[in-house]
Amino acid sequence: MPLSKKPSTEDLNDISPALRGPRDSRAAFLYGVKNGLGAPAMVLFAGMVGFGAMIKAAGMSGPFAVASSFLMFALPGQVLMLEMMATGSSVLTIILAVTLTSTRFITMTVTLFPQLHDRDRNRKLYASVHLLAMTSWAVSMREFNSLDIKHRASYFFGLGLVCWIASIPGTYFGYLLAGFVPGPITLGLVFINPLFLLLTCADVKPYINRIAIGLACVLGPIFTVLDRDTSLLTTGLIAGTVAYLVDRKLLRKKAGVIG
C-alpha cells in the first residue's frame, strides 16, 4: 500500500472546515465591508475630520483637502505635508519627508500580504496597496487567522475600500466644520486613529505586540524629553527590538517553539 503524500502548507490552508466566517469570496468581501462600516470607518472618518480642520486653518482649499485623502490616504504623511507646505518647504523636501514617513507601509506589507493565498499574490496587489492603512492592517492582522486563506484577499478589499471611502467625506466635513467647533476638539480627532491602532494591536493574541506597546508607553515620554525629533524612531526601534528578543529567547523557548 503506497504511503500518502505529506500535505503541503497550501493543502492544509485549503482544508478549513473548522474556520468560522464566509465560505466564498463574495461573502468574504461583504464581511470585510460589514466590519469596515463599524469602528474602523468611524475612526478614520473622525481622524480625517481633524485633518480637514487643519487644512482650513492653514488657509488651503477644500478640493486640495479632498484630493490629498483620495490620492494619499495616509494621515501621518498628509499632516506632515501640510506642515511643511505651511512653512514654505521645497517640493523635493516635502516628497522626501513624506516618503520617509511612509516607510511603515513596508513593514505592514511584508507582514500582511504573505498571509494571502498564492493565487492572490500577483500584480493586482500593487493596486490594492492603496487600501492599506494602519486601521485596515490592524483589523486584518487580527481577523486573518479566523478566515480561510482563499478568502482573505476579498475580505481585505472590502475592509480597505470602506476605510478609504470613509476618509474622503470625513476630510471635507472637517474642512467645513472648522470655525464652528473649538479648534482643540477638531484637531484632537487626529489622535483617535493611533489610539484605535493601539487598542487593536493590544487585542492580538501574540504577547510580543503587548510587550512592544507596553515598552513604548514607558520609553516614549522619556525619549521625547531627551530628543523630540528622534523620539518616535528611537522608541519604536528599542521597544520593538526588546519585544522581539523576549519573544524569541524567552516566550518561544518556554513554549517549546523553535525559530
Tens digit of each residue's pLDDT (9 = 90 or more) over 182-201: 767 766 766 666 666 666 66
How many domains does the structure of the chain reveal?
2
Q: Are residues 139 and 169 in the same domain?
A: yes
The answer to the question of residue 84 being in a domain is yes
- Report the distance separating Cα 149 and Cα 221, nearest Å: 40
The answer to the question of residue 229 being in a domain is yes
Domain boundary among 163, 189, 215: 189
Q: Are residues 81 and 138 in the same domain?
A: yes
Q: Is 103 buried (19+), middle (13-18) or exposed (0-12) by CB count in 10 A?
A: exposed
What distance separates the 2 farthest-apart alpha carbons in the chain? 80
Q: Are residues 148 and 230 in the same domain?
A: no
Residues 6+ apart with CB under 8 A from 151: 21, 22, 23, 24, 25, 27, 28
**pLDDT tens digits, 38-51:** 888 888 888 888 88
Q: Which of 13-17, 88-92, 95-99 has the lowest mean pLDDT?
A: 13-17
Smallest Cα–Cα separation from 160: which of 111, 110, 125?
A: 125
- pTM, rounded to two decimals: 0.71
Q: Are residues 65 and 171 in the same domain?
A: yes
Q: Are residues 131 and 83 in the same domain?
A: yes
Q: Are residues 81 and 116 in the same domain?
A: yes
The answer to the question of residue 42 being in a domain is yes
The answer to the question of residue 224 being in a domain is yes
Q: Are 151 and 16 in contact (CB under 8 A)?
A: no
Domain that holds residue 128: 22-189
The answer to the question of residue 89 being in a domain is yes
- Report the distance separating Cα 111 and Cα 156, nearest Å: 14
Q: Are residues 106 and 173 in the same domain?
A: yes
Q: Are residues 84 and 179 in the same domain?
A: yes
